[in-house]
Chains A and B, each alone.
Chain A
Amino acid sequence: MLAHLRAPIASLARRHTRTMASLPPLPDATASDKAALRNMSDTLIEMLGGDSLMPTSSDTPSTSASPTVTPATTSSGVPLINVPPAQDPLLHYFTSMLMKDGKRQRAQRITSRTLLYLHAYTRAPPLPILRKAIQIASPAVRIASSKVGAKVISRPIPLTEKQRTFYAISWIRKAAQKRPVGRSVEERLAKELIAVIDGTSSVIKNRNDIHKLATVNRGNAGKRV
């Protein structure tokens, strides 16, 4: 890769990896993200000899009825390109965790029906509710236990965003399975997600127990095993 592109792209990649957010941030991006994107687009403009990155209006004739979308621009007036993912990453991960024996369509149906049940129970958009419930249920650390001589020492270790979502969805699924028999998977999951937000779920107790253990063992945090 060209040397003067490497730094801004590397900084962009650092900012945008390991996140479960649904879309890359555009208007309300942090100052450092904007600076990195601006840096990269300015570098590209230099390389291309000052040409615009987007096609000019003379190439694509637009009808008067079609709405014109003004893309976000950098300070130098260059439009930013933002390519969103095909599917919401959190929903994709949720479906993957429900999937068994590679049956993705079945898992996808369960996810869709769970969102439908959420909407039916709350009369609100279901995706923010799912996101909020998983945020509440996620632990921030995990406890790694190891033996030093005869003693077992427990160390708190921070988790990445994907690891946190894994634990949250795993606990929600197990708690939902324990609900009264006779209802469908989707209904149990939806009720469990609402219970997490209400604060009545056992998932919250799981998370608090881990956090309390971490607080008790916070002296072991940086120790060599």
Chain B
Amino acid sequence: MSEGINLLDANKKNENILPVRRIHFMRIMAVSMLFVVSVSAVIVFILIALSPLPELQRQEQSLRLNLSNSSADMAKLALLDERTSVITKLLSERTSYDQTIGLLQDTLPDNATISSLRVEGDILVVTVESRSLQALDTFLNGLINYVQEKKGFSQVMLSSLSSDNVSNDYSLTVHLILL
């Protein structure tokens, strides 16, 4: 009996579902997360609040308004650019028939004349008359040289060679394909 009466159950186990150290760690983690979230929220708020975007947008609007005064000149500039582009294209795709005729004249002997000339697309038909066959031969050889040199024509085809007994003229008709 000297031991007295123990009202507490000595055999009762202290059954904690988690150790105290782990609970302590969880508390620190929760507080840290709370801190990080709070700091992040404040930082984001400051960053957004101090953003220069509204001021930049106002500046942009002001500059646009300023530039709108020159919109007529800007339209003129755009129209000029468009016109020159189209004109450049037109000129670059234009066939210079005067140069083609010039090539024919260059190879035409003095005693021969062009009696007919027809150009349609890239086909040129020319008729040359002369009293001399030699002159027609010179003309034809000149054209062949052009084709060989790839100058103005890509193909030459003799269509007809005839003579007029009344006028004693020889007539040569040639088909040429332009380059």
A, B co-complexed: no
